[in-house]
């Protein structure tokens, strides 16, 4: 009966692993992105992410806006002084508010062109009027 085990000599089983106190559960996302470096004074489980600053907002050029307004008013009222101011302010402040400055330059030149056209038509009107008056019989 040498082949029968004795009750005092029980088969040995492998020792059960003792749980680690610092890591009770394995990280299920060990294949995911690495975790960032914790901030030294952060609460447990929270990490510090540095602020990401947005680029500075483009400055609204006041003179470029004035240029656009002068150009629009000069078209509506046929004032060539405002058109000239619109062109001047637009060229001076082209780097501040580019869209407004270009709008002021364009509307200023349109107003100057319309003013020149209206002056030319006014002159032609009087030329034809006086030439028609000279052909009338006495």
Q: For 95-104, what is each residue's pLDDT tens digit?
A: 877 888 999 9
pLDDT number for residue 44: 61
For the chain, the structural domain boundaries read 62-134
Greater model confidence, 88 or 133: 88
Task: Report residue 37 as tokens.
Answer: 């470096």
Do the beta carbons of residue 71 and residue 106 sit within 8 Å? yes
Q: What DSSP element (H or E) covers 93? A: none
Q: For 46-105, what is each residue's pLDDT tens digit?
A: 655 556 676 676 667 788 899 999 999 999 988 889 999 999 999 998 887 788 899 999
Count of Cβ atoms closer than 10 Å to residue 70 Cβ: 25
Structure pTM? 0.54
- How far apart, in whole angstroms, are the C-alpha atoms of residue 131 and residue 34? 91
């Amino acid at each position: 009966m040498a082949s029968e085990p004795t009750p005092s000599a029980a088969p040995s089983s492998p020792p059960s692993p003792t749980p680690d106190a610092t890591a009770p559960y394995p990280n299920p996302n060990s294949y995911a992105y690495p975790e960032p470096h914790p901030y030294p004074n952060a609460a447990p489980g929270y990490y510090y992410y540095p602020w990401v600053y947005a680029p500075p907002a483009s400055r609204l050029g006041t003179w470029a806006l004035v240029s656009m307004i002068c150009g629009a008013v000069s078209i509506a009222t046929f004032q060539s002084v405002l058109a000239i101011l619109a062109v001047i302010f637009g060229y001076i402040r082209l780097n501040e508010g580019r869209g407004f400055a270009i709008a002021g330059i364009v509307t200023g030149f349109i107003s100057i062109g319309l003013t020149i056209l209206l002056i030319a038509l006014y002159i032609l009107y009087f030329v034809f009027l006086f030439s028609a008056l000279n052909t009338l019989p006495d």
